[in-house]
Structure 1
Amino acid sequence: MYVVRLLVLSSSSGMGPNIFRARLIYYFGSPFQLPEAIKDVPNLSRANIAQFARNSTNDPVDEIYGLIHLVTSPEEDRQHILGHTEGFDPTKPVDMSLYAAGAKAMNWNKRAKELDQKYPLVVFSKSYCPFSRRAKELLASYDLSPPPQVIEVDLRGAFSGRLFGSSFPGLITQHVPECHHPGKSIGGSDNLQALAANHSLKQILENAGISINLLGLSDALLTTPKSSAAAKRRFLHVPGTPGIWRIPGPTLSFLWSELRFFITPGLVNELVRGWNRPADIVDESLESFLTRRMHPVTARILGSALVHGIYATDARLLSVRAAFPKLWEMEEKGNGRLLWGLLTRSRQDRNEEKLKVEEDRQRYELGDVMPLLEGAAVFSFRDGMSSLPQALTRAIRQNPNVGIMTETEIESLQLNEEGFEITTKQTNPVRPSHVVSALPLPILHQLLPATHELPYLRTNPYSSVTSINLVFPGKRIWPRGFGYLVPRPQNDYAVDEAGILGVVFDSEALSGQDNLAPGEQITKVTVMMGGPHRNVDTRIPVVLAHLQYQLNRSKPFPEPLAVKVWENRHCIPTPMPGHLVRMERLQEALKGDLWQGRMEVIGAGVKGVSVGDCIESGRNVGLEW
């Protein structure tokens, strides 16, 4: 039944033999023309071809393997096979020896296994068919390895427009595209779309021995293993003291660390203090939490440094429940003691965490990415994290149902009885039925009319960060490690401070991004500045002087080979205490009578600032539509 759709060559037995002089079969874009022996068989009607395609009851494998063998054989073999049709009787079952050019000795079971291994996915398609194009675009978005064997069936002639106008006896469907994996049909375009929507397609492809390289980024993925110096060696620079100090691991090594004077007071208090959370507190800042559970100096040094590295903000403003919910949960499980809550996790708790991780993985088409990330402490891409949105853009553009409008400034977002109207400066108004906003919340507030205001869009402040990329000649002018963070100074965020939040030793953390000539050696570093610091001086000589002091270098740094300064204005939101409750009320407003769930508000200002948080928010969009 599979062969019929590929080899239909005539409209009826009454039509002349010369109608299809230019009939072609394409595979991988390389055409070959059917030999005259096949094209001019006088009785090659649709009914006879249907009979020709039926499987022989004596054949050990499905006849589809004969067809795949035919179209994937070398040119000379194809011509030889197609030339052995003398005496062919289309009214009788076809022997597989026809596909082997009369070679009775061919082991078709063995050949079928070879074809399954070499071509685990075969797609019969037409180059001009929109359904074929849609199916191929969907498969292309998975970036499969090996890629699908695409066989383009383009039949040209007077009857080409009516080729599949009526069904053939015994066939399930008469249209291309048709996708096959080892001996079985997956179906056509609609079937593929349905399987992709319910996440079954990934499993089917993997069961066929196909690796899924989502977005085509696997080869560009760079990882830093947990055993590397970048993973094991991370530092702090305490303002007012030259040099950087290594952060100890989760062992008693902190007793010999220079940071023990900041860690020990907090650890002692945590061990002796019981439940001390006031009854009326439903959220608090991270600094307040660490001060209450540990010690003010621990909160200032360790807490503020951590917050500088993630949120570039003041730990006294950041909600502990929104930013670090595990701390809040461990305090409750440990009846007030964080360590007790961590150490007394039951087997059930650990199993539930593993189950949740596995469920999260199942919800995503992860392909062969997860094995690549096993044991990784840091990951990026050869050309930086911008590779991710660029690959997403390429994948989205392949979807015919999606249009992307770039360089388009939105002026307003209106909601009326008929739906939305989005006004832009560059194009005509856009009138969608549903809207997803990933804009910073204050920007969304500016676009909405006063009659449709949403709550809490202007509550949280946003941090501005200056990133400076520096490239120096020579190798390893920094200590081996990931980099260092800088806590809040003792005299608060004074004007005369350096304003540095942290420094990343890029050459150590992601050396795979360096594209160097033989023998060339460089050292790359990224300096993060700003956030809660005021009046930051980003002049390069000033920055280098601060780095020299913080790293306790006796000699100045060499002249940088390259410098790039990035000014990121209002780029990271600070979820303040009460953020979770405010976002719940925002969601209630969006689901209320006015908006009726037709708009979703997502992004860093709602759920979280990490790449993973933003991907999760985007993944869940529209699930209730």
Structure 2
Amino acid sequence: MRSQLSEHVVVALLKPYYTIPGCQSSQSSSRSFHSTRTPPTCRSGMTPRAHRHQQRFNWTARNQTIASAERSIGEPVNSQAYTSNVAAQRSRGWSISQSAEEDYAILGGGITGLSAAHFLTKEKPTATITIYEGSKRLGGWLQSQRIEVDGGTILFEQGPRTLRPNLEGSGITILELIHDLKLTDEVLVTPKDSEAAKNRMVYYPDHLVTMPGPGQGFFEILWKLITEPALKWVLPGMYNEWFNKPRPKHLEDESIGDFLERKLGSTDAADNTVSAILHGIYAGDVYQLSAKSLLSSAWRTDGSRGSIQRGTVDLFAKGVRIISARDQSLIEKILPGLDRSFMEHLARYASVYSFKDGISTLVTALEKSLRANPRVQFKTSHRVKTLKYDQKEGLVKISTKADHQESFTKVISTLSGPNLSSITATHENPDPLPSLNSIHSVTVMVVNLYFPDPDVLPVHGFGYLIPRAIPFDQNPECALGVVFDSDAVSQQDAVLGTKVTVMIGGHWWDDFSEYPSQDEGVAMARAILERHLKITAVPTATNVGLHENCIPQYTVGHDARMKKAHFELMKAFNGKVAVAGNSYNGVGLADCVASARDVVTNPDGNLESALTGLNGFLSERKYEILDLKEARKDMRRHVELSHKSRGGKKKDR
């Protein structure tokens, strides 16, 4: 469930700090509405101008800024290496040695599981890999479907539909995957100057409100901040936040809603705007989701400086930026190998991007690549019943049938936390992984509608999201948001027309024991469009999906629970079972691919130090100083060297 109201001033206060876990609907066990419905602004994304270099920047210039930057964030930056996770485990008496026979099992054939298998084939080419998938199909929440209509075909997306061209963090791992699978020619770009890029909207209280952003003048934005009820919190909130004091030291975590109220002085930001953004990313409740987990940088700065704005201004004035050591390591390792012209094209023109045949292009290409490898075996329609550790043999045993077991030296689970916990339960120990079992997920109904009239929409843009404070009479269906698919990604259909996707449910359905039928879903979606957009036309093609428990909720205390989960996994499996996917480190599509890469390669480059996939929760995140001026110089040098090494002229795109 890793998405966003794009480049909007209204969320400028939060934008630099969003960790956006993102596979809301895209991975092996996640579905990603974030990249689809929640425009990209809230996500923590690296801006195009910050396309960082691949080599450590000028260390002299870097060191000159360390002291002042440390004061800006209120804590040491990269002052010492982490304590070795491997050493920590050995000190507890846990063995982490690996058999000479490397035999891996991957539980789940969604995007996380397929990505994990892909990275394993690169890191461990002699290992054998078995992928277990309980259903007949691969891809998990990634579901691109071609539908026949009069005159041709159209493409419906049930999961994520777009990606952001970020270099920072998880975004670069998707670009690496695209490069590995040779998919650059399949990419479709939504330009930065398009209506979809410029118009990201919320609906409050009874009309659409375009968020301040690119293409709008200063006075237009100012007038909107003064007159729009959805944005009335911005100016007084910024004033209150500037003079805010650091949070109480005893406060270990709080909800995003409580965090915003404490920082901005009212509940308006959470109720009228930010809850809409979170509906688009997590389909979750702003008063349940964790500020520490989802706004980690803002949370850190708040604890040290009090004012997020002051900390940001200080760093900007010094010409530096704080970047996590993990993200910097990924950039240095991955960026040199990427196609120069493709990267330049994305950086210069793309607001978001997708593929000619939809996001499932990634699944198709991964499956084709993995099936061509004789050391990879697929077992679809094989639902894992039990997962046990044989201490004597040092192997993990998997059973899909009562009378059959297979043994593996290492297992990577991309199942949801509760699903993994259920297959590890025994009569003696019915809940061996209580922390993973406690992860709650929400259910979302996704309704695709196609109208043959290309002008059925009264406005154009990426779409709109619906905040929690909208009056009930404006949203009795419990809708989360609406995506204007025809605007968000063009050139995927063979015929003209208008495609719209309506998302319904999420945390509003937490107490539901039954859900609407497909016909009821279409009727609800049409009622929403008629009420909000005055669309009364009848769609000629529809597609409805009910995605139960599709988006995990990182509620207050998530980091602490995942730290406990690490030790629970170590106790149960001695470092032989690792986890990846949207239950843990991000609900977005890119986050799922990144977690798959991390659990295989580990940011430190040691496969076995990954252990459980949750090692990152054991200590505070490590950060480095990025000198932007030196970074740009190094980036230019890298581009020149990369171009020369390829020995060709720049490819026009």
For this structure pair, what is the TM-score category when the shorter chain's length is used for normalisation? 0.5 to 0.7
Q: Secondary structure at the match of 1:279?
A: coil
Q: How does 1:21-100 map to 2 (within 5 A)?
A: none
Partner of 1:371: 344
- Describe the superposition over 1:138-187 as per-residue Cα deviations: whole angstroms up to 9, x where unpaired: xxxxxxxxxxxxxxxxxxxxxxxxxxxxxxxxxxxxxxxxxxxxxxxxxx
- Is residue 2:375 matched to residue 1:401? yes
Partner of 1:281: 251
Aligned-pair distance for 1:360? 1.8
Contact kept, 8 Å, 1:463 with 1:570, in 2: the verdict is: yes
Task: Decide which of 241, 248, 254 is 2:221's aligned counterpart.
Answer: 254
Q: For 1:421 and 1:539, locate their aligned partners in 2 and report how far apart those are by CA, in whole Å.
A: 42
1:374 counterpart letter in structure 2:
A
Q: For 2:345 and 2:209, locate their aligned partners in 1 and report how far apart those are by CA, in whole Å.
A: 32
- Describe the superposition over 1:67-89 as per-residue Cα deviations: whole angstroms up to 9, x where unpaired: xxxxxxxxxxxxxxxxxxxxxxx
Q: Secondary structure at the match of 1:313?
A: coil
Change (3 A) 1:348 1:582: farther
Q: How does 1:54-453 map to 2 (within 5 A)?
A: 213-239=179-205, 241=206, 243-249=207-213, 253-257=220-224, 260-272=228-240, 273-275=243-245, 277-294=247-264, 295-332=266-303, 335-346=305-316, 350-353=320-323, 359-364=329-334, 367-368=338-339, 369-375=342-348, 376-417=350-391, 418=393, 419-425=395-401, 428-450=404-426, 451=429, 453=432
Contact kept, 8 Å, 1:332 with 1:341, in 2: the verdict is: no
Q: For 1:248 and 1:574, locate their aligned partners in 2 and report how far apart those are by CA, in whole Å.
A: 28
Structure 1 unaligned residues grouped into runs of 5+: 1-189, 195-211
Q: Secondary structure at the match of 1:460?
A: coil
Partner of 1:525: 500
- Is residue 2:467 matched to residue 1:487? yes
Partner of 1:547: 529
Structure 2 unaligned residues grouped into runs of 5+: 1-121, 127-177, 601-605, 609-653
- Describe the superposition over 1:349-388 as per-residue Cα deviations: whole angstroms up to 9, x where unpaired: 7355398755323433763253342142211111111111
- Indicate the structure (1 or 2) with the bigger Cα radius of gyration: 1
- Describe the superposition over 1:442-482 as per-residue Cα deviations: whole angstroms up to 9, x where unpaired: 11111013448124012221010111111101213221110
Aligned-pair distance for 1:314? 0.9
Q: For 1:355 and 1:252, locate their aligned partners in 2 and report how far apart those are by CA, in whole Å.
A: 40
1:414 counterpart letter in structure 2:
K
Partner of 2:611: none
Change (3 A) 1:224 1:565: same
Q: Secondary structure at the match of 2:590?
A: helix
Aligned-pair distance for 1:525? 0.8
Q: For 1:343 and 1:192, locate their aligned partners in 2 and report how far apart those are by CA, in whole Å.
A: 45
- Describe the superposition over 1:299-345 as per-residue Cα deviations: whole angstroms up to 9, x where unpaired: 11111101100000111110112122232134245x22222222222
Change (3 A) 1:441 1:349: farther
Q: Secondary structure at the match of 1:245?
A: strand
Q: For 1:558 and 1:464, locate their aligned partners in 2 and report how far apart those are by CA, in whole Å.
A: 28
Q: For 2:574 and 2:547, locate their aligned partners in 1 and report how far apart those are by CA, in whole Å.
A: 35
Partner of 2:491: 512
2:498 counterpart letter in structure 1:
T
Q: For 2:247 and 2:363, locate their aligned partners in 1 and report how far apart those are by CA, in whole Å.
A: 42
Contact kept, 8 Å, 2:480 with 2:504, in 1: the verdict is: yes
Partner of 1:63: none
Change (3 A) 1:373 1:354: farther
Give the TM-score taking structure 2 as reference length.
Answer: 0.58
Task: Decide which of 497, 508, 521 is 2:476's aligned counterpart.
Answer: 497
Change (3 A) 1:591 1:234: same
Aligned-pair distance for 1:216? 2.8
1:550 counterpart letter in structure 2:
H
**Structure 1 ranges of 4+ moved more than 6 A:** 190-194, 493-496
Aligned-pair distance for 1:266? 4.3
1:445 counterpart letter in structure 2:
S
Contact kept, 8 Å, 2:447 with 2:521, in 1: the verdict is: no
Partner of 1:56: none
Contact kept, 8 Å, 2:452 with 2:498, in 1: the verdict is: yes
- Is residue 2:590 matched to residue 1:612? yes
Task: Decide which of 541, 546, 564 is 2:543's aligned counterpart.
Answer: 564
Aligned-pair distance for 1:191? 13
Q: For 2:455 and 2:476, locate their aligned partners in 1 and report how far apart those are by CA, in whole Å.
A: 27
Aligned-pair distance for 1:597? 1.2
- Describe the superposition over 1:381-435 as per-residue Cα deviations: whole angstroms up to 9, x where unpaired: 1111111122112222222222121111111111112111101039942211111
Q: For 2:498 and 2:260, locate their aligned partners in 1 and report how far apart those are by CA, in whole Å.
A: 36
Give the TM-score taking structure 1 as reference length.
Answer: 0.60
Task: Decide which of 445, 450, 456 is 1:477's aligned counterpart.
Answer: 456
Of structures 1 and 2, the one scoring higher in RCO (CA 8 A, sep 6+) is: 2
- Describe the superposition over 1:482-514 as per-residue Cα deviations: whole angstroms up to 9, x where unpaired: 0000001356x7997121101111111101211
1:383 counterpart letter in structure 2:
D
Partner of 1:71: none
Q: For 1:584 and 1:277, locate their aligned partners in 2 and report how far apart those are by CA, in whole Å.
A: 23
Q: Secondary structure at the match of 1:345?
A: helix
Aligned residues: 409
Q: Secondary structure at the match of 1:248?
A: coil
Change (3 A) 1:430 1:576: same
Q: For 1:597 and 1:297, locate their aligned partners in 2 and report how far apart those are by CA, in whole Å.
A: 46
Partner of 1:585: 564
Q: Secondary structure at the match of 1:267?
A: helix
Structure 1 window deviating more from structure 2 (399-408 vs 266-275): it is 266-275
Contact kept, 8 Å, 1:409 with 1:426, in 2: the verdict is: no
- Describe the superposition over 1:266-293 as per-residue Cα deviations: whole angstroms up to 9, x where unpaired: 4313423421523311111111111111
Contact kept, 8 Å, 2:224 with 2:231, in 1: the verdict is: no
Aligned-pair distance for 1:588? 2.9
Partner of 1:47: none
Q: Secondary structure at the match of 1:344?
A: helix
Contact kept, 8 Å, 2:582 with 2:591, in 1: the verdict is: yes
